[in-house]
Amino acid sequence: MTGLARWAVGVAVGVAAVATTARPLEFDDIAREGELRLLAERPDPEAYAYRAETWVDEESLRTGVVRMATCHLRLDPNQRVVVLFNRERVQSIRIVETEGIEHATVEGHRVELAGVRRGARVCVELRTRALDPAGEGRWRLHAGPLMRRYLDGYLPMEADLTLHWPAGLLRVAGIEPQPQPGVRLQAAADGASLRLTFAGRLAARWELVRP
Q: What is the chain's pLDDT, residue by residue, as a tens digit (211 residues)?
A: 323 333 334 322 233 343 444 456 777 778 888 899 999 988 888 889 999 999 999 999 999 999 999 999 999 888 988 888 888 899 999 999 999 999 999 999 889 999 999 999 999 999 999 999 999 999 999 887 888 877 788 889 999 999 999 999 999 999 999 999 999 999 999 999 999 999 999 989 999 999 9
Q: Does domain 4-20+46-209 have CATH number 1.10.760?
A: no
Domain boundaries, the chain: 4-20+46-209
Q: What is the C-alpha radius of gyration for the chain, rounded to an integer number of angstroms? A: 17
Report yes or no: 7 and 84 within 8 Å, Cβ to Cβ.
Answer: yes
